[in-house]
Chain A
Amino acid sequence: MNDQQLIRNVVVVGGGTAGWMTAAALSKILKGKVSITVVESEEIGTVGVGEATIPMIQRFNQVLEIDEDEFMRETQATFKLAIEFVNWGKLGDRYMHGFGRIGQALGTVPFEHYWRKLYMAGKAGELADYSITRAAAAKGRFMRPVTDAGNSPLAEIAYAFHFDAALYARYLRKYSEGRGVTRVEGRIVDAKLSGLSGRVESVVLADGRSVPGDLFIDCSGFRGLLIEQVLHTGYEDWSHWLPCDRAIAVPCENAPQLLPYTRSTAHAAGWQWRIPLQHRIGNGHVFSSRFMDEAEAQRILLANLDGKPLAEPRTLKFVTGMRKKAWNRNVVSIGLASGFMEPLESTSIHMVQTAVARLIEFFPSAGFDQADIDEYNKQSRFEFERIRDFLILHYHANQRDDSEFWRYCREMPIPDTLTAKIELYQRNGRIVREGAELFAEVGWLQVMHGQNLRAQGYHPLADLIDEAETNDYLQSVREVIARCVDVMPTHEEYIAKHCRSA
């Protein structure tokens, strides 16, 4: 095969969320010109964390030309406008990280500087009053944005989804198989490497069958079947910054109200997620085994459910960090095989999506050029590190004194990139988003402010508009948002009308 020839066989190893998202996107783009095989075993369960998403998933759905209502019906999905953080800064604190922007442009400087100026003078409300998604989430309301609403906040309702990850994988499997993807049932026991190039030539199944390929996508989860067990790529451990290493997950019965947001409640040595679906609530307790034993963690989880548990709690072990190279030789790891970060900001599925987009951008030819692979890995690392910083912020910026865990997090050394961000913010409230960093300025702002990190000042040019005018403007934004929320249906009503599961 000529070095510059098109790859003929792509083999996806593992069929969880990552595997089927990858297969679906590649099948859509390659349109049968390249053979795509997914090898998965029904014996191996999927981790299926990351049932909560961020708004960028809409782009993925658009590329796949997925009908949103259909996808929601098939996956028992609900809408998500925000994440509520409870007990993070201090015990008893409660704030939201809402999607989309906050306020509207007024003058030379970003909205938050006008807001902060008045807030410091005791003349402005909390950020939530100026965010349509936070205001709507707090009232349990939802609707999709109205396209012809001009400047109205109703035109900019940013949303994502909560869904059942197992159903999502099944949905994408159907999608992929409909586009020519071959599914092979079987457990992989070995891989054959080329003596010459060191590339993976085939994977060998327990029954002796062999599945050959030119490009392998390792979606085997934590195990990193090819990227680690076969290629020994190495792993960078970040658990000194993110010390949680276990999660116990359990679904429970629904609560009376269907909330349009994820909730994250901090406990003594970790936090608990709450993800409302149509048919149940997903819950999980992420904790650090250094600071809490498993029995205690399970007891806390079960004591904080909204309804009766629907299954036995299931424990997951992980080490936060990233694979030293997401792409090594002819193996590209996507999903948990490429690294793990806890789902505190619902980034797991997003990172699968960006990895797939990046793979498409840097899709190799048969020769596998190192410059392309290096750039892929560089971009992948940048994405991982910036998300890591954002997660660390949640732990580090705390004022809790009730446990050793929180004291450790507050006092631990943090990455320089995060220190620089915090210092810049603390002086005059400036936040800089670099390159393709995932979280926008308002994402950082909501978490920093929500966890009681205060800037000493604001952009001096916020003073170009006098206080009375600024006040009127903030007041009007707040009123308009309140009025908009009033016309929105409840989350349940909206789902019943558009995408109720059978």
Chain B
Amino acid sequence: MPAAPLQDIVIVGGGTAGWMTALGLATVVGDRYRIRLVESDEIGIVGVGEATIPLIQRFNRIVGIAENDFLRETGGTFKLGIEFVNWGRMGDRYMHGFGRIGQDVWTVGFEQYWHRMRTLGRARPLGDYAITQQAARANRFMPARPEPANSPLADIAYAYHFDAGRYARYLRRLAEARGVRRTEGRITRATQAPSGDVDAVVLESGELIAGELFIDCSGFRALLIEQTLQTGFDDWSHWLPCDRALAVPCESAAVLTPYTRSTAHRAGWQWRIPLQHRIGNGHVYCSSHVSDDEAAATLLAHLDGKPLADPRPLRFKAGVRRKAWNRNVVAIGLSGGFLEPLESTSIHLIQQAIQLLIDFFPDRGFSAADIDEFNRQNRFHWERIRDFIVLHYHVNQREDSAFWRDCAAMSVPDSLREKMDLYKAHGRVFRFNGELFTETAWLQVMAGQNLMPESFHPFAALQPEDKVHDYLEAVHRAVENSVALMPGHADYIARHCAAPVQPQGHP
């Protein structure tokens, strides 16, 4: 017989992770389950991950969020990719644009023809064939449209930048309307049943909130998953040595760029996330290579406008909770692990965990086989994203600091090593089992950081050279013509989703 269904779900913590989980679960299971969220207004939220990747559109669709409404409410802007500055070498600049590049016409993929023409000195930079990269450079934006057929306009993949604080408030409103009960209060401890399962959390007020399934969205504190259950943490800081960040908002610049920028510094990098009402900035750095004061000075020296607040420090360690799901506690968000927001994956990892929780939703039996499979799949996603981020650090030719020299010399995970070896031979990239980043994403970063294959797929040589050249040029022209049809990013926002003006200085 099946075990009895559970009824009471308690979400601990109400930042981005907590409210995304609350809204996701309320939408999918809200009819039959009681969902409570406990948060304290006294505790700030980390609110990293103001930049996203295109899969967030799937989350929005499932929970019924309308794009324009959501962007108005969160001061959001559009994002077509990430620009990386100074990563391969000082002075380098490349983009990881969303979506695909080129079009497949013959036996092998577009990138193989690009490699061939590049070897012959007859190719443009990769970005010249990518609609999202070209549109980003031109500060233009519009969503994909299916007409005309075969046009690059159909390939405009995009995500968003938004204010994480406003996003959490927006999600809260929707979740409460769908029956999620919010309780204000600071949690002092959790109580456990004789089995070891968490059976309640206790608030400062003495109130006891009982539940059967607990979602730990308490951030770095990992209140239940670590403080109560002592699940353990796998430290990845030998691969990702940055351990601090300083975040500061500043005034907007003249041009509203439709992309995130990541600028490498001496021992880390700086993000730049343009919102409608301000720019979010942050310096992620390695504390053994640079002092907090120097990091702050570097951050402030690289702003586009006046800072709107004092830099706020964050400390972290890259790695993952040994089990995201332990007993009746599922850790989602920073309590589940931390990967710096270099590829804007924080919110995606929340979304991924919610989806997996729905796939492996428990009953009172809490089947070990189901939990093991959840953990296995969740870990797989984390590890593959980790590899992609490690790639950015490892493939560098900077000689200007010990930090970059160490990163270039470090030994990387085997799974990354294999990926790089395969690519180096003939430019092949193999995406395994739904791992997040596509072949095109890997290509853009590897090529963007000057890692080029020794050769290309032999079948790319089956077509006459001039014919391939003409084909590449045709793709480029189609991209250029398409970009010319797109409105400016600021114009598009003004027309569709401008946020009401709010007082400045409010992060």
The stretch that binds B, out of A234-242, A421-429, A492-500, is A421-429
- Is A369 a contact of B425 with CB atoms below 8 Å? yes
- Pair A463/B5 contact, Cβ less than 8 Å: yes
Asked whether, in the complex, the Cβ of B1 is within 8 Å of the Cβ of A456, the reply is yes
Q: List 27 A-B contacts (CB under 8 A).
A: A3-B455, A4-B454, A7-B458, A30-B459, A31-B462, A108-B358, A360-B107, A363-B457, A365-B458, A369-B454, A371-B418, A372-B426, A374-B421, A424-B369, A428-B2, A430-B360, A430-B373, A432-B377, A435-B432, A457-B1, A457-B363, A457-B365, A458-B2, A461-B361, A463-B5, A464-B28, A464-B29
Q: Assess whether A411 is interfacial by the CB under 8 Å rule.
A: no
Tell me, in angstroms, the Cα distance from A423 to B373 when the chains sit together.
10
Inter-chain contact A108/B28, CB cutoff 8 Å: yes
Q: How far is the CA of A169 from the CA of B430 in the complex (A)?
A: 32
User: A461 touching B458 by the CB < 8 A rule?
Assistant: no
| A343-379 interface code vs B (CB 8 A; 1 in, 0 out) | 0000000000000000011111101011110110001
Partner of A371, one of B32, B370, B425, B432: B425
Q: Is A192 an interface residue (CB 8 A)?
A: no
Complexed CA–CA distance, A298 and B372 (Å): 47
Q: How far is the CA of A31 from the CA of B464 in the complex (A)?
A: 13
Q: Which of B31, B362, B367 contacts A464 (CB 8 A)?
A: B31
On chain B, the residues within 8 Å of A432 by CB distance are 373, 377
Whether, in the assembled complex, B461 has its beta carbon less than 8 Å from a beta carbon of chain A, the answer is yes
Do A372 and B361 touch (CB < 8 A)?
Answer: no
- A457-B365 Cα distance, complex, nearest whole Å: 10
For the complex, what is the distance from the CA of A374 to the CA of B423, rounded to whole Å? Answer: 12
Are A464 and B32 within 8 A (Cβ)? Answer: yes
Residue B323, interface by CB 8 Å? no
- Contact indicator B462/A369 (Cβ below 8 Å): no
> Are A6 and B428 touching (Cβ within 8 A)?
no
Interface size on B, residues (CB 8 A): 41
Tell yes or no: A67 within 8 A of B by CB.
Answer: no
Q: Which residues of A contact B433 (CB under 8 A)?
A: 434-436
With a cutoff of 8 Å between Cβ atoms, the chain A residues found around residue B425 in the complex are 369-372
Q: Are the CB atoms of B428 and A375 closer together than 8 Å?
A: yes
Flag if A29 contacts B107 (CB, 8 Å): yes
B459 and A360 contact, CB distance less than 8 A: yes
A459 within 8 A of B: yes
Interface string of B343-368 (1 = CB under 8 A from A): 00000000000000011111101011
Q: A120-B1, A428-B370, A460-B5 are in contact. List 7 more A-B contacts (CB 8 A).
A: A108-B29, A371-B424, A375-B418, A379-B430, A435-B433, A461-B361, A464-B29
B28: chain A residues within 8 A (beta carbon): 108, 461, 464
Instruction: Indicate whether B3 reaches chain A with its CB closer than 8 angstroms.
Output: yes
Check if A33 is an interface residue, CB within 8 A of chain B.
yes
Contacts of B361 in A (CB 8 A): 459-461
| B422 on the A face (CB < 8 A) | yes
Give every chain B residue within 8 A of A424 (Cβ-Cβ).
Answer: 369-370, 373
Distance in Å from the Cβ of B252 to the closest Cβ of chain A? 41
Inter-chain contact B29/A428, CB cutoff 8 Å: no
Q: Are A364 and B363 in contact (CB under 8 A)?
A: no
When chains A and B are docked, how far (Å) is the Cα of A430 from the Cα of B369? Answer: 9
Contact A371 B358 (CB under 8 A): no
For B32, the chain A residues whose CB sits under 8 A away are 463-464
Using a CB-CB cutoff of 8 Å, which residues 426-475 of chain A contact chain B?
Answer: 426-428, 430, 432, 434-436, 456-461, 463-464
* B358 close to A426 (CB less than 8 A): no
B426 and A33 within 8 A (CB): no
Docked complex: A30-67 residues within 8 A CB-CB of B: 30-31, 33
CB < 8 Å neighbour of A427 from B358, B369, B424, B430? B369
The answer to whether residues A430 and B29 also contact, given A29-B459, A369-B425, A372-B425 and a CB cut-off of 8 A, is no
Interface residues of A (CB under 8 A from B): 3-4, 6-7, 29-31, 33, 108, 120, 360-365, 367, 369-372, 374-375, 379, 420, 423-424, 426-428, 430, 432, 434-436, 456-461, 463-464
Tell me the minimal C-beta distance from A464 to chain B in angstroms: 6
**B367 closest partner in A (C-beta):** A427
Which of A435, A460, A463 has the most chain B CB within a 10 Å cutoff? A460
Is the beta-carbon distance between B461 and A6 smaller than 8 angstroms?
A: yes
A460 contacts across to B, CB distance below 8 A: 2, 5-6, 361-363
Contact with A along B388-428 (1 / 0, CB 8 A): 00000000000000000000000000000010011011101
The CA of A364 and the CA of B428, in the complex, are separated in Å by 12
Which 10 A-B residue pairs are closest in the complex by CB-CB distance?
Answer: A457-B2, A369-B425, A435-B433, A427-B367, A371-B421, A4-B455, A460-B363, A371-B425, A423-B369, A424-B369
Taking CB atoms, residues of chain A closer than 8 Å to B454 are 4, 369
A33 to B29, CA, bound (A): 58
Closest chain A CB from B131 CB (angstroms) = 26
* Chain A residues in 8 Å Cβ range of B363: 428, 457, 460
Q: Which residues of chain B (241-282) have a CB below 8 Å from chain A?
A: none
Q: Which residues of B contact A7 (CB under 8 A)?
A: 458
Taking the nearest CB of chain B, how far is it from the CB of A433, in angstroms?
9
Interface centre among B28, B31, B458 (most CB of A within 10 A): B458
**8 Å CB contact of A365 from B3, B107, B455:** B455
| B459–A428 CB distance below 8 A | no
A372 in complex: contacting residue of B29, B359, B365, B428, CB < 8 Å: B428
Q: What residue of chain B has the Cβ atom nearest to residue A108's Cβ?
A: B28
- The distance from the CB of B22 to the nearest CB of chain A, in whole angstroms, is 17
* Proximity string of chain B (443-463) to chain A, C-beta cutoff 8 Å, 1 when within and 0 when not: 000000000001101110110
Nearest Cβ distance between residue B166 and chain A, in whole angstroms? 29
Q: Which residues of B contact A461 (CB under 8 A)?
A: 28-29, 358, 361
Contacts of A120 in B (CB 8 A): 1-2
Within 8 Å by CB of B367, from A3, A371, A420, A428, lies: A428
Chain A residues lying within 8 Å of B372, measured Cβ to Cβ, are: 420
Query: Given A424-B369, A430-B360, A457-B3, A363–B31 Cβ distance below 8 Å?
Result: no
What residue in chain B is nearest A434 (Cβ atoms)?
Answer: B433
Contacts of B365 in A (CB 8 A): 427, 457
- A379, B433: Cα distance in complex, Å: 12
CB atoms of B370 and A430 under 8 A apart: yes
| Contacting residues, chain A, for B373 (C-beta < 8 A) | 420, 424, 430, 432
With A363-B458, A460-B5, A461-B29 known as contacts, the answer to whether A427 contacts B370 (CB < 8 A) is yes
